[in-house]
Amino acid sequence: MIGALTWSVLAPLLASVLCLLAGRAARWVALGAMLVPLAVGSAALVSFVRQPGADFRLLESYPWALGAAWTVGVDGIGAALLALTGLVMSIATISAWNEARRPAAYHALVCLLTAAVVTVFTTLDLLVFYIAWEALLLPMLALIGLWGGEQRRYAAIKFFLFTLAGSILMLALVIALWVVQPEATRSFDIRQLAGQWRLWESTSVLGVSLARFGFVAVLLAALVKVPAVPLHTWLPHAHVQAPTAISVILAGILLKLGVYALYRLAWPLFPLQALVFDHWIAVLGVIGILWAAWVALGQQDLKRLVAYASVSHMGFCLLGLAGLTSSGVTGGMVQAITHGLGSPLLFLLVGVVYDRAHHRRIDGFGGLATPMPRFAWALLLASLSGAGLPGLAGFPGEALVLFGSYTAGGWWSWLGALATLSVVLSAAYLLWMLKRVIYGPLRHPEQAAFPDLDAREQAAILPLLLLLLLCGVWPTPLVAALRPACEALITHVTGAP
Amino acid sequence: MDAQLLWLIPALPLAAALVNGALALGTARDAYGAPRALVALLAVLGPALSFALTLALWPSAGGPLEGLPEVYRATYFTWFAGSGFALPFTLVLDQLSALMLLFVTGIGALIHLYSVGYMWADRGFARFMCYMNLFMAAMIVLVMGGSLPVTFLGWEGVGLCSYLLIGFWHERTAYADAARKAFVYNRVGDLGFLLGAFALLSVAGSLDYAAISQWCRSADAARLAEAGPLLSLAALAIFLGCCGKSAQIPLAAWLPDAMAGPTPVSALIHAATMVTAGVFLVARLADLYVVAPQALTVVLLVGCATALWGAIAGLVQHDIKKALAYSTVSQLGFMFMAAGSGAFSVALFHVFTHAFFKAALFLAAGAVIHGLHHEQDMRRMGGLRPHLPIAYLAAFYGWWAIVGLPFAAGFFSKDLILEHLWLGHNELGALNIAPLVAGVALLTAGLTAVYMTRVMTLVFWSPCRLDAEARAHIAPTPLTMSVPLLILALGSLVAGFAWVGLPLDALGIPPDALAFIKHYLAPVLAAPEQRWLAAHPHGELGNLPWAIAGVGTLVAALGALIGYAVWRQGPAQVPSAGSETAPSGWGGHWTFAWDRLAEWLIVKPVFALGYALYWVIELAILGISGWLAMQAARALGAGYLAVVQRARLRANLLCAVLGGAAFLAVVIVFVVR
């Protein structure tokens, strides 16, 4: 029997073929397929909330060749990310409901992308992980390159090359790990590989240990995706050129892949290396937080501002993970999830005004709260969440990460103090944007006729808004589901030396 | 009454806010808006019931004679937790939070009632009431929070409501700017709050107020010396947060701009309650501040400088609300001076009296503005006493109290502050600066009398400068506004007796019966105050209270006389309607000194750096990396990239779907096997 997690991959995969046949009904097929990972992920998440544990659930394993296997299973982290994937993909589908340019092909590609992403988040096999990790680039490349804005090809190729270049070493790693294992017990099972970390430490490749090589390889692949400054330059461009729904997916899901690779591969497989590099990664995180926030202050384009805000918020994931305190590691993951709710919401709202005004210049708006009160409310809440206001989803992740840094003591405290500066910067750029977009007098008279959010837009925005409130007011279930897996990771890494 | 009922105190206004918010959203497109009577009823009922509940749960005075104080404390749930780190949602109703709640909910309910009259005709009535109720809920959480994080929740909540209410008429650019400025200034303070909280956590191991106090009280000299720098840092950082919320130098400049909000907002948030949260927090952490004496000296000096600056700025304003705003800034400085000299309960006493007389003054100003159809320029008023008798009455008692003439509320609290400053002992290097500060405070008290008398003279006592038509159209004060005005006027007159009591022996009432504040806060604040006194002994008291009261009264009377004499004829020139009200010349330089300093030292450099990072470094990296990418793409040339470049959809899709199908096939083969 095929289990729930395999169905979460199969459903969008089958749907992608069906979409091509379904013509105009493709959007229904796609939406239906997205609901499968959403349902499975939510059910898994609920099970981790009710019975917290660091174990993998919904396990299935079918052996394949070369010691690889179709092994799927989720811990708290995987469950949360699976649910988030289903949610964001459904919302992206709703937001592209009226896509007029080749809708069947569009939805087919999004389904394909979903299948690949779900595979990454659920598989426990390194080879399958790598294949899916690379495979998801192709539909993404096509989606930006064919449905994007004026400079779509340039943006698509840049995205593709950056992420491909980042992960090219991972292929070498996959092969190397296979080669050095004893022939009898060769496996790609990530759990098994994590237990053999001493082997890579003692194997030398071209003068460095295989472990160091492997850690750097995964790190590079992950940091490009997160993205960490200075590897982030593909992101603003990709966002600006991508259509709204693709920006939603980029911000909501694709960036999480990087964080997930660190949590699932880099730290468990190479614990000693993680302890060597953790300071540098934390510094990168803090640089990202401050740099991107500062750059966001100088933006004129609404979407680029949100993109830089996104980079800034993702820096907290790095800082939290690197500190290896329970609060920090859990907080980094909480931040990844809540950012996956808040950032897509902001991109959806940018898309709303873009659809009406056909531009995204911040100074080309003003006073939109009068003709579009619901839009203004949603933008206000999304921005305040981004600014880390307690009671909204942006707060718990950042608070936990900062708390983790402070309790780690020593110069971690100083890193935490620096990162805290973002409470001022994020308020400055987001409120400045709010003031220029929705407050003040109507500066462009034609905008008085802008209709408020329609039913489709509300259907996409409302679930995110409600979850933003829920995760802010009552983050305990999410934290409880993520914590055991994060603490198991810490035990594994700190127990290594 | 059960401690488990504590949650109802913030929940009642919150419920009202939610219902009113739903009504406001549901009727956003409706020409008439939400049903006003229902909205008004809910809006007033929420805070009024909280007030009633506060009284019902009122913790007894406690004190050394009556045994342990009665304190309500309830933990409802854990907000969220890491290991070794939990944020329990704990509410506390001890004497300190009860005293704050008393006027927060009491005066809050009155101002809600006043708002019903003031905002009735406004299109966004329901939205306004929703924000006001939300503010009440947040302020109550701030005050009742049992730990720094819960207080922070309320702290940010009141900041948000302040932002929404300052920008309530957001179509006006200046108002939207003022709202943003308030929020960002507060955020700078919040940075301090967070850093201080984290520093405190690493010292005391907890964010719970009781645990922090316990740690500070029980730590021996060696531990204190070891933790000294970090403790001072924590105290100073948290004080930065207080500076943001309570508009102290260097974060003072947002409060006068905040007068853009509707006048009830100015009265409730920017005079009586929210802006005193900083003073409250210093008092809440009194145990921390007395073991960080340098930090307390900074509190004293900042309060002193702000009081003087605000009083002088208040002297040159033409806009009636701006004048009152600078007055609030100055009065908050007085409160911090009291806290800085270790007299935390005196600081709270001034918070208490100030809440009455400043709310009275603001609501009276609101009645004037309402009466004159949105005229706020005092140069265009004058002689309004017969036209707006209720507003005049409230303003008069408010004036009496703030000037500090005998027996109104401000007289007693101001007198106590001067006394503590004069006798106090705060070291700066080898110097005891407390008496110097007392001198500045006395001067500031005199200036207070001058500028407040100037306001009264320009508005009520000088010859009327309204033309005949405007005079005929002065709007009367509706009943919903008059009732709160009268109650607050009475409060301004008698609130001071809550400390000194009244000689009512003849009626069989013990002399201290009314003087509940004097000893009421002792269970919370007596320990830190006595510890401070032990380390920084006061001078001899002797006949000093009478001397200080006498000198204070003389200075106040002199100031009032000067204020009346100089402005009794009104301004030299009456400007036309809608002319600039911001002071010019040296008054303008003085008023906007901190704005300009912040503008040039912080805002401009920060934004310039943002632009520089983007336009120089970011775009250079973007450009180079993009160029490299395109070169690489050309080199790779063929295959998938070329397909995309030529946008051959069918081939492209074929690639993708075939790849996917192959993947699927693999999966299925092995599943079936």
User: What are the pLDDT digits (tens) for B120-175?
Assistant: 888 888 889 999 999 999 999 999 998 999 999 999 999 999 999 998 888 888 88
Q: Is B84 on the interface with A (CB under 8 A)?
A: yes
The encoded tokens of residue B318 equal: 């033409």
Integer Cα distance of A312 and A304 in angstroms = 12
Coil, strand, or helix at residue B373?
A: coil
Q: What is the pLDDT of residue B665?
A: 53
- pTM for the model stands at 0.90
H-type alpha helices, A181-270:
190-195, 197-202, 210-225, 234-241, 244-249, 255-261, 267-269
The encoded tokens of residue A204 equal: 């030398």
User: A189 - beta bridge partners?
Assistant: A125
Quick: pLDDT tens for A48-106.
999 998 899 999 988 887 778 899 999 999 999 999 999 999 999 999 998 888 888 89
Q: Which residues numbered 161-200 in A keep a CB inside 8 Å of some CB on B?
A: 161-162
Beta carbons within 8 Å of B518's beta carbon, 6+ residues apart: B345, B499, B500, B501, B512
| Chain A residues inside the 8 Å CB shell of B84 | 326-327, 407
| Chain B residues inside the 8 Å CB shell of A442 | 171
Task: Mark yes or no for CB contact A440/B173 under 8 Å.
Answer: yes
Task: State the first-to-last Cα distance of chain B, in angstroms, to the nearest integer.
Answer: 69
Task: Mark yes or no for CB contact A298/B156 under 8 Å.
Answer: no
Quick: pLDDT tens for B267-316.
888 888 999 999 999 999 999 999 988 899 999 999 999 999 999 999 99
- Judge contact between A37 and A86, C-beta under 8 A: yes
Beta carbons within 8 Å of B620's beta carbon, 6+ residues apart: none
- Judge contact between A199 and A180, C-beta under 8 A: yes
Residue A488 has pLDDT above 90, yes or no: yes
CA distance readout (Å), B91 to A259, A389, B87: 37, 20, 12
Give the ipTM of the model, two decimals please: 0.89
Stated as kind and residue range, the H or E segment containing A82 is helix A76-95
Task: Mark yes or no for CB contact A476/B79 under 8 Å.
Answer: yes
Lowest mean pLDDT among A173-187, A205-219, B84-98, B503-517: B503-517
Phi (first) and psi of residue B77, to 5 degrees: -160, 165
Residue B514 has pLDDT above 80, yes or no: no
Q: Indicate if the alpha-carbon torsion angle B354, B357, B363, B369 is positive or negative.
A: negative
| Chain B residues inside the 8 Å CB shell of A301 | none
Phi (first) and psi of residue B207, to 5 degrees: -105, 5
* Cβ count near A454 (within 10 Å): 11
The encoded tokens of residue B265 equal: 């907002």
Beta carbons within 8 Å of B47's beta carbon, 6+ residues apart: B12, B13, B16, B105, B108, B109, B112, B133, B136
Integer Cα distance of A416 and A436 in angstroms = 31
| Chain B residues inside the 8 Å CB shell of A370 | 171
pLDDT category of residue B649 using cuts at 50, 70 and 90: very low
- Judge contact between B190 and B241, C-beta under 8 A: yes
pLDDT category of residue A462 using cuts at 50, 70 and 90: very high
Residue B67 has pLDDT above 50, yes or no: no
Q: Which residues numbered 218-247 in A keep a CB inside 8 Å of some CB on B?
A: 230, 233-234, 236-237
CA distance readout (Å), B365 to B46, B360, B391, B484, B612: 25, 8, 7, 13, 46
Q: Is B257 on the interface with A (CB under 8 A)?
A: no
State which amino acid sits at residue B415.
D
Integer Cα distance of B115 and A398 in angstroms = 38
- Neighbour-count burial for A21-30, b at 16+ CB within 10 Å, e otherwise: ebeeebbebb
Q: Mean pLDDT over residues A247-255, rounded? A: 94
Task: Mark yes or no for CB contact B614/A407 under 8 Å.
Answer: no
Q: What is the pLDDT of residue B517?
A: 76
Q: What is the pLDDT of residue B278?
A: 94
Integer Cα distance of B345 and B351 in angstroms = 10
Measured between CA atoms, the residue of chain B closest to residue A140 is: B656
- Under 8 Å CB pairs connecting chains A and B tally to 233
Q: According to the per-residue pLDDT averaged within each range, which of A197-206, B66-75, B386-395, B592-601 is highest?
A: B386-395
Integer Cα distance of B369 and B324 in angstroms = 13
Task: Mark yes or no for CB contact A475/B79 under 8 Å.
Answer: yes
C-alpha triplet A111, A116, A120: angle, nearest 5°: 145
Lowest mean pLDDT among A190-194, B138-142, B495-499: B495-499
Task: Mark yes or no for CB contact A142/B652 under 8 Å.
Answer: yes
pLDDT category of residue B224 using cuts at 50, 70 and 90: confident
Q: Is B597 on the interface with A (CB under 8 A)?
A: no
Q: What is the pLDDT of residue B446?
A: 94
Residue A45 has pLDDT above 60, yes or no: yes
Task: State the first-to-last Cα distance of chain A, in angstroms, to the nearest integer.
Answer: 42
Q: Is A113 on the interface with B (CB under 8 A)?
A: no
Measured between CA atoms, the residue of chain B closest to residue A112 is: B660
Residue B498 has pLDDT above 70, yes or no: yes
Q: Which residues numbered 173-202 in B keep a CB inside 8 Å of some CB on A?
A: 173, 176-177, 179-180, 183-184, 187-188, 190-191, 194-195, 198-199, 201-202
Q: What is the pLDDT of residue B655?
A: 53
A410: left (phi over 0), alpha (psi -120 to 50) or beta: left
Measured between CA atoms, the residue of chain A closest to residue B620 is: A233
Better-scored residue on pLDDT, B170 or B460: B460
Residue B347 has pLDDT above 80, yes or no: yes
Closest-CA distance, B593 to chain A, in angstroms, reads 22
Q: Is B573 on the interface with A (CB under 8 A)?
A: no
| Chain B residues inside the 8 Å CB shell of A230 | 621
| Chain A residues inside the 8 Å CB shell of B667 | 6, 9-10, 70
Residue bearing tokens 């921390």: B288
Using only C-alpha atoms, chain B has a radius of gyration, in whole angstroms, of 29
Task: Mark yes or no for CB contact A327/B613 under 8 Å.
Answer: no
Residue B63 has pLDDT above 50, yes or no: no
Q: Which residues numbered 325-354 in A keep a CB inside 8 Å of some CB on B?
A: 325-328, 330-331
Q: Which of B158, B220, B192, B183 is nearest to B282 (CA)?
A: B192
Task: Mark yes or no for CB contact A291/B613 under 8 Å.
Answer: yes
Integer Cα distance of B563 and B460 in angstroms = 13
Task: Mark yes or no for CB contact A326/B82 under 8 Å.
Answer: yes
| Chain B residues inside the 8 Å CB shell of A439 | 167, 170-171, 173, 176, 179
Task: Mark yes or no for CB contact A404/B82 under 8 Å.
Answer: yes
* Cβ count near B472 (within 10 Å): 9
pLDDT category of residue A154 using cuts at 50, 70 and 90: confident
| Chain A residues inside the 8 Å CB shell of B173 | 439-441
User: A399 - beta bridge partners?
Assistant: none
Are β-strands A69-74 and A57-63 bridged in parallel, bridged antiparallel, or unpaired? antiparallel
Quick: pLDDT tens for A274-331.
999 999 999 999 999 999 999 998 888 999 999 999 999 999 999 999 988 888 999 9
Q: Mean pLDDT over residues B65-85, rounded? A: 68
Quick: pLDDT tens for A19-40.
888 888 899 999 999 999 999 9
Q: Is A416 on the interface with B (CB under 8 A)?
A: yes
Integer Cα distance of B82 and B99 in angstroms = 34
